[in-house]
Amino acid sequence: MQVRRRAALAAAILAVPALARAQGTWPDKPMRFVIGGSAGGVSDILVRILENRLRERLGQPLVLDPRPGAGGMVGAEAVARSPGDGYNFYINHIASHGIGPTLYKRLAFDPLKDLPGVARLAAMPNVLIVKGDSPLKSVADFVAYCRANPEKAVFASAGTGTSSHLSGVLLGLRIGIETTHVPYRGTAPSMAAVMNGEVLFAIDNAPASRQQVLAGMLRALAVSTAARASTMPELPSLQESGVPEFDVASWYGITAPAATPRPIVERMGAELVAALQGPALAQRYRDFGAEPMPLGPAEYDAFMRAEVAKWAPVVRASGATVD
């Protein structure tokens, strides 16, 4: 009995430094935030807005590490394989943790299990856009035209498996036609395809088309979220315009390797949520076109599981898979 007590005491003593590091001295070096896209993209900008606040609160800088490719899965896998030491984080999104778990058939990791949530940051609506001089001036016009000419219901996306791809598929399902998908290598060329008349429409992140809409080269018909977006209240939602059960937002957050100590996850999550509840940072997000929607770790995990369940039947209906 005495031997067992001594062993237990020794184990407890050995655990103290690790716990202290997790709760007390963390962080004591720069933290790496991997971005599953290019520098200057949405993920990059959303984290850069938070950078100074996190540096002030945590006392260490952020090192932003762009790892574009495969709808964010290249960056996600890099972080999933990184040490769970509290210094590796991934800026995740709907493509990596909402659509990806169903779309990718041979992933070497499980996004939800191996990269659980730290905090949800924000969401932004997608916007249904057509060519600027199109005769289609409302969602009703658009739906009537597509039903009368289903062979012309062709849409562009930023790539297979993106929210712009699945939004186009979902729209066809909701209005009772089969839309035709044309994937492009990114948002810019997909916007150009609409402007050039190569396709009829696209449904993509609102900030991506804002300048072209203001210039009259594109026409925005509706936002994809169930309610109107605070960043563009003049646009109706697809749902209020008669498209049933359509509620799509491109959401973004922070995840970390599953082995990351829980006290670090909770601390980082609390810092992110508090930052986005502050009016100054929240307004900077809105100025960019994103609506702050902070959630802590447990709530974010539940949200992501619900998103996978929501998108799985749409992915299957699209027929899209990535081996």
CATH assignment of 125-223, among 3.40.190.10, 3.30.70.920, 1.20.58.220, 3.40.50.970: 3.40.190.10
Instruction: Please say whether the beta carbons of 50 and 122 come within 8 A.
Output: no
The pLDDT, as a whole number, for residue 161 is 80
Q: In the chain, which stretches have pLDDT less than 70?
A: 1-24, 323
Question: Which contacts of 170-176 are long-range, i.e. CB under 8 A and separated by 24 or more positions?
Answer: 170/246, 170/248, 170/314, 171/128, 171/203, 171/238, 171/243, 171/246, 173/314, 173/317, 174/243, 174/244, 174/245, 174/246, 175/143, 175/146, 175/147, 175/243, 176/147
Cα Rg for the chain, rounded, in angstroms? 22
Q: How far apart are CA 224 and CA 89, in angstroms?
A: 29
Give the pLDDT of residue 37: 81
Joined tokens for residue 231: 């960043």
Q: Do 28-123+250-318 and 125-223 show the same overall fold?
A: yes
CB 265 within 8 A of CB 256: yes
Task: Report pLDDT for 17.
Answer: 45
What's the confidence (pLDDT) of residue 24? 61
Domain boundaries defined on the chain: 28-123+250-318, 125-223
The arrangement of secondary structure in 28-123+250-318, i.e. its CATH architecture, is 3-Layer(aba) Sandwich (3.40)
C-alpha dist (Å) from residue 278 to 63, 267, 283: 23, 17, 9
Token pair, residue 173, equals: 């399902």
Contact 297, 269 (CB under 8 A): yes
Give the pLDDT confidence score for residue 210 in this predicted structure. 85
The amino acid that residue 165 corresponds to is H
Nearest CA to 96 among 79, 81, 76?
76
Percent helix, strand and coil across the chain, each to the nearest 5? 50, 20, 30
